[in-house]
Structure 1
Amino acid sequence: MGDLEIRPAAREDVTEIVAMLADDPLGAQRESPDDLAPYLTALERLLGDPNQHLVVAEREGRVVGTLQLTIIPGLSRRGATRSIIEGVRIHADERGSGLGTRLIEWAIDESRRQGCRLVQLTSDITRTDAHRFYERLGFEASHLGFKLPL
């Protein structure tokens, strides 16, 4: 995999993160790489919340992957803390390199370190390749998800 660092995202990474979020048919419909203001505002909120971990994978000074890990303390499951993995994106040049696996393994390891007893993620129903990827990593399709735009 070469020299790879997984580190917290910083303000200077936002352009590359947003470009990866927009680099597919779904993301192209909902992301706005030409206007970074809302993303920078969101980054400030994330950086101020100790339960939010937005990370990037960097190789040779270039951001090549990202994900967000959210830690959620709860009462259910006997007071279990759980985590949610979201926004997993790999730069097109890096897909198939094992980088996605490395990022998910980082998220699982960090979840354990944070005392989580369950790791969850959602994936759009149309992302069948992603579903196979997550299943290969041991995730099981277990729930039906719902959304309500506000």
Structure 2
Amino acid sequence: MRRINKAILTAVSALALTLGASTAAHADGSVTWRNVDPDIQICLGHVNDFWGTPNDVAMSGCNSGEAGWYDQNVGGNEWLQRANNDRNYCLTAYTDSDVYMEQCSGNDWQRWYEEYVNGHWHLRHKATNMCLQADDRGKGIVVRTCDYWAENQMWE
């Protein structure tokens, strides 16, 4: 009887560990953020200046190098979105709703919460508590009050 109980306990523990692992946050790594709005359906990209330094953001083709990001967890559900081709630069936003690239320091203006709601990802900015939004059919990138039903704030 003891062997059966031990075997059952081992099986239940293994199952619990497996289920627990499937709900954990993803690890650091390369990502592409494609907007799901049917009028947009292109990816968040960073724009380089004349010298090749990331300094702004725009929507771009999902296969372009500018659409590559390095997702770095900085504790809990807080993430830095680093330019994949120059990880010294991070996606940054301020209270004026502007979003651009700035040299990474890891401050709250560069931290994002990745929230999976209604089957899509929403990037909520830590300092402003607003969500990343593709504005004007993808012509601009801003942060706005979070609307978890707005397709232009949904990413995959």
Question: Greater CA radius of gyration, 1 or 2?
Answer: 2
Q: Which is richer in strand? A: 2
When you count helix as a share of all residues, which structure comes out higher? Answer: 1
Q: Same fold (TM over 0.5)?
A: no
